[in-house]
């Protein structure tokens, strides 16, 4: 699966638009994780527990996006983006989305 953040894919021609593909995950940190992060906040700097959580959430949303696009019959995703929103205290949704397409290499 080719995934790009651009609206086109140099060297390839879009032969079919399949529509929006998306991958969604909702994540939270455990109480123990929140306590650990609170301790890191006191000392400042990178809050590694939250960084790891954010990276895991983005990775999971991306994997869901690719799976959805494959189910649609796509071999590429154009204009891929992430969006994140806090649903409740310490609960975040991460959405990965883009346009599922079928592309062929230009010869």
Question: How many other C-beta atoms are found inside a 10 Å radius of the C-beta of residue 85?
Answer: 10
pTM flag (> 0.75): yes
Query: Does domain 2-105 sit in CATH 3.30.110.70?
Result: yes
Tell me the mean pLDDT per 10 residues along the chain, length 107: 97 98 86 59 68 89 98 98 88 95 96
pLDDT value of position 41: 64
Compute the half-sphere exposure of residue 61: CA atoms within 13 Å on the CB side of its CA.
23
Q: Which residue in the block uniquely carries the two structure tokens 């969604």?
A: 24
pLDDT value of position 38: 61
Q: Are 40 and 48 in contact (CB under 8 A)?
A: yes
């Amino acid at each position: 699966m080719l995934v790009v953040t651009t609206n086109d894919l140099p060297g390839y021609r879009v032969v079919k638009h399949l529509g929006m593909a998306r991958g969604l995950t909702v994540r939270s940190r455990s109480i123990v994780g929140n306590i650990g992060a609170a301790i890191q906040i006191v000392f400042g700097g990178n809050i590694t527990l939250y960084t790891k959580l954010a990276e895991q959430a983005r990775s999971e949303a991306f994997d869901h996006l690719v799976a959805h696009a494959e189910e649609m019959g796509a071999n590429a995703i154009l204009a891929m983006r992430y969006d994140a929103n806090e649903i409740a205290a310490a609960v975040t949704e991460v959405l990965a989305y883009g346009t599922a397409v079928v592309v062929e290499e230009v010869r």
